[in-house]
Amino acid sequence: MGGTMPGPAVFRGLAGVLLAVALVGLLAAGSSCTSGGTTGGERSGPPPGQAGVPSRGGMGFIDLPRPMTRGQVSLEEALAERRCRREFSPKEVALAHLGQLLWAGSGAPSTAGTPGAQGDATTGATHTAPSAGAIYPLALYVVAGHVERLDPGVYQYDAGAHALRRVLAGDVREELAAAALRQDWVRKAPLSVVIAADYPRIRERYGERGVRYALIEAGCVAQNIALQATALGLGTVVVGAFADEKVAGVLGAGEQPLLIIPVGP
């Protein structure tokens, strides 16, 4: 770490997110996920009945390229090579790579056409990351500044459709970095993925313990993204030091931001 990086004490309360991953147990109870196809291109209007997404009239819905389930790098190689990286080249990130990262984070295998599409035997649902009771309380936001075929803006990932919904137009990387204690890698990365939790939704099922489950799930999602980025030759860093309300304000998010993951070549 360097530059304006906050000291280790800042991370004390945040380190539990990924430490908790090791404690993940089997939690099964009952809801299911949706699935849908992908083609590419922009559709007009939001999908019907999508809760928790700020409405900003006239914003687009963008299909992502179908994710791949075979790559050049083995899981073991990605594990061995993963490191937090805080410097990025100014080159743009391919839209297919962004889609791949989001799918790896917590996408629906059905959108890649894999056998996993039939779902978990107990819950009937499946994503690339586990979720207590298959509730999926996490939202994945993308703060895009320099992504191929994507206007700068804030987007929310729709896992069932493997698509992005634009919630805010304009490049807000500068504001995001300011909300993250001016960590320069947040400003310079072509994009950041922000993991945010819908606590009321998970509390409804699990009470206060639901908060723990959401944090554990966020660790799973973050590691999936980091490993996929490594396999694609992209750099990432997990950023937990930021002002929660400011980050939520930048995103226009109703959920609680948990982690910012800057990504770049």
Ligand X SMILES: Cc1cc2nc3c(=O)[nH]c(=O)nc-3n(C[C@H](O)[C@H](O)[C@H](O)COP(=O)(O)O)c2cc1C
The C-alpha atoms of residue 252 and residue 52 are separated, in whole angstroms, by: 11
Q: Which is nearer to ligand X, 61 or 141 (CB)?
A: 141
Work out the angle between the directed axes of helices 95-106 and 209-231 (0-180°, nearest 10).
Answer: 140
Q: Which is nearer to ligand X, 15 or 23 (CB)?
A: 15
Q: What one-character-per-residue DSSP string does 192-242 give?
A: EEEEEE-HHHHHHHHTTHHHHHHHHHHHHHHHHHHHHHHHTT-EE--B--S
Neighbours of 7 (CB within 10 A): 9
Using CB under 6 A as the binding rule, whether residue 17 contacts ligand X is answered as: yes
Shortest separation between residue 176's beta carbon and ligand X, angstroms: 12
Using CB under 6 A as the binding rule, whether residue 18 contacts ligand X is answered as: yes
Region binding ligand X by CB under 6 A among candidate stretches 11-19, 24-32, 139-147, 156-164: 11-19
Shortest separation between residue 10's beta carbon and ligand X, angstroms: 7
Q: What one-character-per-residue DSSP string does 158-193 give?
A: ETTTTEEEEEEES--HHHHHHHTTT-HHHHHSSEEE
Using CB under 6 A as the binding rule, whether residue 14 contacts ligand X is answered as: yes
Using CB under 6 A as the binding rule, whether residue 209 contacts ligand X is answered as: no
Element (H, E) at 247: helix 244-251
For residue 146, what are the contacts with CB-CB under 8 A and spacing of at least 6?
90, 91, 92, 93, 152, 190, 191
Using CB under 6 A as the binding rule, whether residue 84 contacts ligand X is answered as: yes
Token pair for residue 103?
A: 């799918």
Are the C-beta atoms of residues 136 and 52 closer than 8 Å to each other?
no
Region binding ligand X by CB under 6 A among candidate stretches 24-32, 80-88, 146-154, 202-210: 80-88
Nearest partner of 61 among 196, 129, 160, 185, judged by Cα: 160
Using CB under 6 A as the binding rule, whether residue 23 contacts ligand X is answered as: no
Q: Which is nearer to ligand X, 159 or 179 (CB)?
A: 179
3-state secondary structure of 135: coil
Shortest separation between residue 6's beta carbon and ligand X, angstroms: 6
Region binding ligand X by CB under 6 A among candidate stretches 13-21, 63-71, 107-115, 161-169: 13-21
* Pairing label, strands 41-44, 153-158: unpaired
Contact code string over 216-245 relative to ligand X, x by CB under 6 A: ---------------------xxxxx----
Q: Which is nearer to ligand X, 5 or 96 (CB)?
A: 5
Task: Kindly tell me which residue out of 4, 15, 69, 87 binds ligand X, with binding defined by CB under 6 A.
Answer: 15
Residues touching ligand X, count (CB under 6 A): 16
Token pair for residue 186?
A: 């947040």
Region binding ligand X by CB under 6 A among candidate stretches 15-23, 26-34, 104-112, 171-179: 15-23
Shortest separation between residue 117's beta carbon and ligand X, angstroms: 31
The C-alpha atoms of residue 168 and residue 155 are separated, in whole angstroms, by: 7
Shortest separation between residue 168's beta carbon and ligand X, angstroms: 23
Name the site residues for ligand X (rule: CB under 6 A). 1, 5, 11, 14-15, 17-18, 83-84, 86, 183, 237-241
